Structure 1
Amino acid sequence: MKTIRYISCSGALLIAMTTVNCALAQDTSKRKTIDITSTFKPVLRDAVKQNFSASLPATDTSRPLLNYNIPQQQVKVPFSPGTLNPVALQVDSLLPWSNSHYLKVGVGNAHLPYAQGAFSFGNGTTSFFNAYGEVYASKGKLDHQKNNLADFMLRGTFKVAKDHELSARLGFKGQEFYYYGYRPDTLEFSKSELRQRFRTVEAAVNFRNTSPSEFGLTYNPNAKVTVFSGTNNSMENKEENLVFNLPLQKYVGKSFGFNLGFTGDLTRYTPDGKSRQNNDLMFISPALLLKTPNVFLNLGVTPSWDNGSFNMLPNLMGEMTTNDQRFTLQAGWIGYYNKGSYQRFSTINPWIAPPADLQNHRQTQLYAGFKGSLANHFTYSAKAAFFKEHHVPLFVNDQVDGKTFETVYANSMDVLQFHGEIGYMRGEDFSFSSGITFNNFTNVEGQAKAWGLLPVELNGTLRWKILKDLYFKTDLYAWDGAAYRSKEGDDRKGDKAFDLNAGVEFRITRGLNLWLQMNNIFNNRYQRWNQYEVYGFNFLGGVAFRFGDMKPIKK
């Protein structure tokens, strides 16, 4: 069977090959062509577009009524914001810098002559320079009731860097007083025996940063050197004083701060014909500070060394105020020193004899009070304080003729004090202030009385710009008499005093003013210090010249 299948396939293949060969054996001269008998191209029909014709909407004149439903919010505010109320304008003491100068001269029934002047220089941005001077000679109706003054001061401030400032001053002050309060007044003295001269030369330097450093530090180191002398009847008493202060303050954020300061006050006193005395005082003042819109706290102590004797003084102060700043409570417990020096004593009582020794007056004060404002223009304050004082300097008449005052000390003394002030201010056109102080001196150890200290003091000041170029001022001083020691050694009470002063000044031209000052208008012959009667009624008037650039410098 396989053989038959093989023969059949071979035969079929042979027939096919024979057919191809016959076809190839046909005419091969004809070229190969393709004949296209028909074509087909598909095409889409054009789409039919619809035309839209818009019509204007009809005008709607009706107003829609919208209803809102806002639920009530239950929000609890943790504080109550303060109200804003206008207050009286405070007189700005930092006016734009002006290179202006003035010279004030005058005469009167007690002063002949009188002259005062001030001159300012600098560019107002990096340098400020001032020169000031005042001289006068005065004479009263009593024999040797004389007083002369010559006071000069140079002051300069320079910006040494963008945020640092250097200030310096140099001054001279010469005063001349006469011991005219001797009793009996029939005694005779030479002019040199009655004349006492005080001379003061002072130099000071101060360096501070005007803005806190990158670490939040504010510093203000300063130093002052004073040379003082008192001369009477060819006897000269000298005193040199050096004071340096190194304060440092740092705030952490806006509320917390820290104060640290070191102060040294060194005095060398040389009485005529006697050995030199040293009176040195040093203290450190660290304190923590808290300052918020409503609370201020100063928590510190003051370790001090008074000629080597150690005393720890308190330094605690606090204030609490309302949100509108119209009422403030104050309280504190503080301690401090008043330096015992010949120069300072001469400013309190110019008829003192050279002190035999110098002691520093130490005070500790516990106080409480309040202050505030009313009706936008009224201000008020009141304070009650209890003082514990040590080494209090007091002045008593000598027991020969009483013309000089000896310096004595109360080892300790208690003082209960009440002080109150009221004020009214309406811009720079009108201002009035008045204060009263009551002092009760008790437990005076070492002395019979608090010699020369006033138990009651009253003062008042009024400034009124009546017209554009017319100014009026008045001052009132009144007090109850202080205790004094008589020649026999017993204690007596001094005179009460009421002293009213008034002055007026008006402008004539841009650079010329006329002025008049009247003192002790009621001609009260009181004695602030026993046996020394003050001047009676006296007046002083003259002209004031103003020249230079009187317009603020444009920055």
Structure 2
Amino acid sequence: MRKQKNKILVILLMLITTLGFSQEREQDTLNPDVIQVVKPYTPTVSDAFKVKEVPSLDDETTATKKEIKYNIFSFPVASTFTPAKGKAAVVDKEEPAKLYDNYATLAAGMYTSILGEVYLNHAISRTESVGGYISHHSSQGGINDLLLDDNFSNTKVSANYARNERDVAWNIEGGFLHQKYNWYGIPQPLYDDAAAEAIGDVDHTFYGFNLGGNVAFTDSYINEASVLYRRFGDNNSSGENRFLVNTDGDFTMQDLDFNIGLRIDYLGGKFDRNYFTEEALKYGNFNIGLSPTYQLIKEDLTLDLGVSLFYLNDIESGKSKFFIYPNISASYRMVDEILIAYGGIQGDLVQNTYYGFAQENPFVSPTLFITPTDQKYNVFVGLKGKIANGMSYDIKGRYMAEGDKAMYRNNLVPYGFDADEAYQNGNAFGIVYDDVSTFGVSGEIKADINRNFTLGVKAEYFSYNVDEEAEAWNLPNLKANLFLDYQITKQWFAGANLFYVGERKGLTGFNDVQNITFPALLNPTETITLKSYFDANAHVGYHLNDRWSAFAKVNNIANQEYNRWQNYPVQGLQFLAGATYKFDF
């Protein structure tokens, strides 16, 4: 303020002086000789000065801003506001499909074929249920250029009772089978119509029944156990009995957890005669196996370390033998579920049976010598994982060494003795055993593209090395198959199954049992190559409602009467149509 006052005083003094000077000039006498021109004042920008909005303070003390503190005096206030709950958008839900516990299927088609199935299941209470299954497939035959009947029939019946309690679940099951086939594969042109008529009836009928059950414990040293008894025979006075027990349990030893499996297997049977003489052929063995395994899990590595111990007693010969097999496997997650490496080495004592041979090849003769297969070791390595969501793959390589591996070989036509039986005309298969090494590579892809489409492809390549036999009889070098299922709409569905089997080796010719020379036959036996074959099957169906469905099947679309077994062509193009009914009791 003092500075402002000084400025005002200076301005007032200058005004007073100017006024005084002007008055003095007015008293001067006008001098006409002198002309004085006074230039008017023209202001410029440089003459102005900017007044600062915030003048600087040059006084002795500069005012400082005081710190202002804000205090909030809060107190609780009761609120009656209730926020509205959010509501999810309304989605139109599809009504779930009605599920039934039972169904029945019946179909008929070419070659006078009949196909039927019935599945039954009924819950007696919350813990008890009973069920059953019946299947039948038959055909009157009609394959072109055959000299003998080729009809067949296959019927199976089973029933079960199950009980599920708090600490234990168990069930018992019984079944019966009746199968009829014909040895129609006589070699041509060695046999003509007259020779075929002389053979007569060539049917081979199998009978069998089984009884067994299993039990599973929730909290026990024994996890589960199963028992099976099966009687199997045929219309040629052949008979076989098998009794099998399997148990699986866990135990701890020195803070280490082990899993141990126990197997008890008895097999005994006889054939009314052997292939060349009328002497009865008996077989039987008893074996018991113990398989302890320790499992180690560390992050992405899972390792199973175990061994399998077997004791075998050949009842007929009275000889016993002890077997030790490795039981080691491991898997490592290299990239989560995308890439998993696995491998191992395992072995087993495989029990061969007449029932097993007849189910795989129904054209075997009732003159088989049956003994177990010693699977010394099976070394395998592979990669598996998921390519994408719903799509998985598995690539595997293996090398297996087997002692007494069973192979099907065509029985040769007798030479030098009479053929009294229908199967002694080169139209049945026997079993030969040999030490066989197998190298195999396989690849598999499964894809669940969506809920309505499923696709699977698998291919396998094999290479065999035999010890005494000339070939690995009837073992294919290549196998491949493709399957797909497609739910087209809610009502329509379809599917297909395609498979390919590569070449196999077979034997044909005459068998000189009496050591008679062959004056006109330089080569009494000959190794032949069975051609590879491709088979395509497809089906389509329509759901009439939630209970009824109609369907149609086409088998062997390529219409190839190929030989699955030597001298045994299959039916060509086959069409079948039928319906399925679902129901509840």
Report the TM-score, using the length of structure 1 for normalisation. 0.77
Aligned to 2:502: 480
1:212 aligns with 2:226: no
2: CA distance, partners of 1:192 / 1:316: 54
1:386 aligns with 2:399: yes
2: CA distance, partners of 1:404 / 1:97: 49
Secondary structure of 2:184's partner?
coil
Aligned to 1:263: 263
Q: 1:245 to 1:116 in 2, by over 3 A?
A: same
Aligned to 1:511: 547
Q: What's the CA shift for 1:362?
A: 2.0
Q: 1:350 to 1:313 in 2, by over 3 A?
A: same
Secondary structure of 1:490's partner?
strand
Which of 341, 345, 348 is the equivalent residue of 1:336? 348
1:396 aligns with 2:430: no
Aligned to 2:432: 408
Q: 1:459 to 1:169 in 2, by over 3 A?
A: same
Secondary structure of 1:352's partner?
coil
2: CA distance, partners of 1:122 / 1:293: 43
Q: What's the CA shift for 1:242?
A: 0.3
Which of 301, 307, 318 is the equivalent residue of 2:307? 301
2: CA distance, partners of 1:252 / 1:502: 55
User: After the TM superposition, which of the residue ranges 141-150 and 449-458 deviates more from structure 2?
Assistant: 141-150
Q: What's the CA shift for 1:128?
A: 2.7
Deviations 1:101-147 (A, max 9, x none): 21111110024332211111015741232211012321332341111
User: After the TM superposition, which of the residue ranges 165-174 and 178-187 deviates more from structure 2?
Assistant: 178-187
Secondary structure of 2:471's partner?
coil
> Which amino acid is the alignment partner of residue 229 of structure 1?
G
Aligned to 2:441: 418
Q: 1:191 to 1:484 in 2, by over 3 A?
A: closer
Q: What's the CA shift for 1:177?
A: 0.2
Seq. identity, %: 21
Could you tell me whether the CA contact under 8 Å between 1:328 and 1:371 is conserved in 2?
A: yes
Aligned to 1:34: none
Q: What's the CA shift for 1:499?
A: 0.1
Q: What's the CA shift for 1:452?
A: 0.8
Aligned to 1:128: 129
1: CA distance, partners of 2:151 / 2:135: 17
1: CA distance, partners of 2:245 / 2:181: 31
Aligned to 1:144: 149
Q: What's the CA shift for 1:426?
A: 2.9
Q: What's the CA shift for 1:524?
A: 1.2
Q: 1:533 to 1:425 in 2, by over 3 A?
A: same
1: CA distance, partners of 2:140 / 2:252: 55
Aligned to 1:181: 185
Deviations 1:291-311 (A, max 9, x none): 355221110111112332111
Q: What's the CA shift for 1:349?
A: 1.1
1:373 aligns with 2:386: yes
Which of 531, 538, 541 is the equivalent residue of 2:574? 538
- Within-5 A mapping of 1:208-357: 208-209=216-217, 211-213=218-220, 217-231=221-235, 235-250=236-251, 257-272=257-272, 274=280, 276-292=282-298, 294-307=300-313, 308-322=320-334, 324-357=336-369
Q: 1:275 to 1:385 in 2, by over 3 A?
A: closer
Aligned to 2:485: 463
Q: What's the CA shift for 1:58?
A: 9.0
Secondary structure of 2:249's partner?
strand
Could you tell me whether the CA contact under 8 Å between 1:330 and 1:368 is conserved in 2?
A: yes
Could you tell me whether the CA contact under 8 Å between 1:439 and 1:456 is conserved in 2?
A: yes
Secondary structure of 1:110's partner?
helix
> Which amino acid is the alignment partner of residue 459 of structure 1?
N
Secondary structure of 1:220's partner?
strand
Q: What's the CA shift for 1:428?
A: 3.4
> Which amino acid is the alignment partner of residue 405 of structure 1?
F
Q: What's the CA shift for 1:221?
A: 1.7
Could you tell me whether the CA contact under 8 Å between 1:500 and 1:519 is conserved in 2?
A: yes
Q: 1:185 to 1:539 in 2, by over 3 A?
A: farther
Q: What's the CA shift for 1:96?
A: 13
Which of 483, 487, 496 is the equivalent residue of 2:532? 496
1: CA distance, partners of 2:534 / 2:395: 23
Deviation beyond 4 Å, 4+ runs, structure 1: 57-60, 95-99, 189-192, 250-253
Q: What's the CA shift for 1:281?
A: 2.5
Q: What's the CA shift for 1:279?
A: 2.2
Q: What's the CA shift for 1:339?
A: 1.4
Could you tell me whether the CA contact under 8 Å between 2:104 and 2:117 is conserved in 1?
A: yes
Aligned to 1:360: 372
> Which amino acid is the alignment partner of residue 241 of structure 1?
R
> Which amino acid is the alignment partner of residue 186 of structure 2?
Y
Q: What's the CA shift for 1:528?
A: 1.3
Deviations 1:490-516 (A, max 9, x none): 222111110000001111122111011
Could you tell me whether the CA contact under 8 Å between 1:98 and 1:124 is conserved in 2?
A: no
Could you tell me whether the CA contact under 8 Å between 1:351 and 1:405 is conserved in 2?
A: yes
Q: What's the CA shift for 1:326?
A: 2.0
Deviations 1:272-330 (A, max 9, x none): 15264212222110111123552211101111123321111110000111463221101
Aligned to 1:32: none
Could you tell me whether the CA contact under 8 Å between 1:294 and 1:323 is conserved in 2?
A: no
2: CA distance, partners of 1:432 / 1:172: 34
Count, aligned residues: 449
Secondary structure of 1:346's partner?
helix
1: CA distance, partners of 2:298 / 2:215: 29
Q: What's the CA shift for 1:425?
A: 0.7
Could you tell me whether the CA contact under 8 Å between 2:100 and 2:582 is conserved in 1?
A: no
2: CA distance, partners of 1:176 / 1:224: 24
Could you tell me whether the CA contact under 8 Å between 1:153 and 1:172 is conserved in 2?
A: yes
Secondary structure of 1:466's partner?
coil
Report the TM-score, using the length of structure 2 for normalisation. 0.73
Aligned to 1:449: 471
1: CA distance, partners of 2:200 / 2:131: 36
Q: 1:391 to 1:141 in 2, by over 3 A?
A: same
Q: 1:470 to 1:302 in 2, by over 3 A?
A: same
Higher relative contact order (CA 8 A, sep 6+): 1
Q: 1:537 to 1:293 in 2, by over 3 A?
A: farther
Q: 1:375 to 1:149 in 2, by over 3 A?
A: same
Q: 1:256 to 1:438 in 2, by over 3 A?
A: farther
Could you tell me whether the CA contact under 8 Å between 1:370 and 1:383 is conserved in 2?
A: yes
2: CA distance, partners of 1:471 / 1:135: 24
> Which amino acid is the alignment partner of residue 207 of structure 1?
V
Aligned to 1:105: 106
2: CA distance, partners of 1:185 / 1:115: 36
Secondary structure of 1:343's partner?
helix
